Amino acid sequence: MAAVQRLLRAAASGGAATAAARRRVASLAPEEVPAAAKGFPFAAEERMRRRPAAERNVQWVFLGCPGVGKGTYASRLSRLLGVPHIATGDLVRDELASTGALAAQLAEIVNQGKLVSDEIIINLLSKRLKKGEDQGESGFILDGFPRTVKQAEILDGVTEIDMVVNLKLREDVLVEKCLGRRICSQCGKNFNLACIDVKGENGLPAIYMAPLLPPNNCMSKMVTRADDTEEVVRNRLQIYNDMSQPVEDFYREQGKLLEFDLPGGIPESWPKLIHVLNLEDQEDLKLAAA
């Protein structure tokens, strides 16, 4: 509860304070770091002993372009580590579906295509953190927050972010991936029809991503999101890149940014991400595969 109250006070004052304590998650020695992971300080004094997944109390942030899959990997790690996956996009959608006083205000903002203000996002996040505290939650993985340096400063003033995982994927692959997205109009599940098989050239690695095909009963009900056109996708990526660079620099200067280049789809990327996060014990791998 105290953390929630500090979050609200920090939001009102601009949140310039920086958390005094700097915890570090388990990491690898420099010679063990895969080429996919860059930028995170893997000094020996920063390393922690491996512990069972149930004992790990992490406070992580996931960054990444729209469509890169940060929600997918954040939710998998959430299940693996037993901490909540908190996506601000889900918080907004849940509030829109409610009958609360904020729902009407949010609906107007979303319908007009405007960005949800920091004040509202902080309000929703505060409610979620309070609920978690009341239920005895420990740790979290944030997805979709912070999006600005101001939000990062607010967050930094009230809690101790261990690590910021920045998922990266080359733009041509991201565009193809976004254009392949489909939604079942009946069950609402997401699928992807794109079979991405890009050859390595000009110093860039080859990337293969198998399609995520729907079952037969969903195949005839596939619909495309209205904003999944090449022009809109590329514009969305450009806006994100312009906004995210200062946030990445903010965490890079703190020594907390781990940049992870996705080498392919989930089968190729998940084991490497588990490796770089130092979660490679047999118990973890069983849970990860579940």
pLDDT tens column, 174-187? 999 999 999 999 99
Q: Which residues contact 183 (CB under 8 A, 6 or more apart)?
A: 189, 190, 191, 222, 223, 224, 225
- Classified as helix, coil or strand, 95 is helix
Q: Report the 10 Å Cβ neighbour count for 270.
A: 18
| Confidence (pLDDT) at 185 | 93
| Confidence (pLDDT) at 199 | 86
Residue 32 — very low, low, confident or very high, per pLDDT cuts 50/70/90? very low
pLDDT, greater one: 4 or 272: 272
- pLDDT of 85-143, one tens digit each? 999 888 988 888 888 778 888 888 877 767 788 888 888 888 887 888 888 888 899 99
Of residues 147, 177, 182, 256, which has the active-site annotation?
147
Q: Please say if the pLDDT value at position 31 is more than 50.
A: no
181 catalytic per annotation? yes
- Closest by Cα among 141, 176, 147 to 243: 147
Of residues 93, 131, 170, 225, which has the active-site annotation?
225
Q: What is the dihedral of CA 160, 125, 61, 286, to 10 degrees?
A: 100
What is the domain partition of the chain in residue ranges?
3-31+58-169+232-265
- pLDDT of 193-231, one tens digit each? 999 998 888 877 889 999 999 999 999 999 998 878 899
Mean per-residue pLDDT for 224-241?
A: 88
Cis peptide before 66 (omega within 30 of 0): no
Of residues 47, 168, 236, 252, which has the active-site annotation?
236
The topology under which CATH files domain 3-31+58-169+232-265 is: Rossmann fold (3.40.50)
Mean per-residue pLDDT for 41-51?
A: 37
Residue 49 — very low, low, confident or very high, per pLDDT cuts 50/70/90? very low
- The sign of the CA dihedral 52, 1, 244, 47 is negative
Residue 73 — very low, low, confident or very high, per pLDDT cuts 50/70/90? very high
- Please tell me the distance from the alpha carbon of residue 131 to that of residue 134, in angstroms, as a whole number: 5
Q: Please say if the pLDDT value at position 286 is more than 70.
A: no
Q: Please say if the pLDDT value at position 61 is more than 80.
A: yes
CA distances from 69 to 13, 63, 262 (A): 33, 10, 10
| Confidence (pLDDT) at 45 | 30
| Confidence (pLDDT) at 180 | 93
Of residues 181, 182, 256, 272, which has the active-site annotation?
181
Query: Is 275:29 a contact under the CB 8 Å cutoff?
Result: no
236 catalytic per annotation? yes
225 catalytic per annotation? yes
- Classified as helix, coil or strand, 138 is coil
Of residues 56, 70, 76, 256, which has the active-site annotation?
70
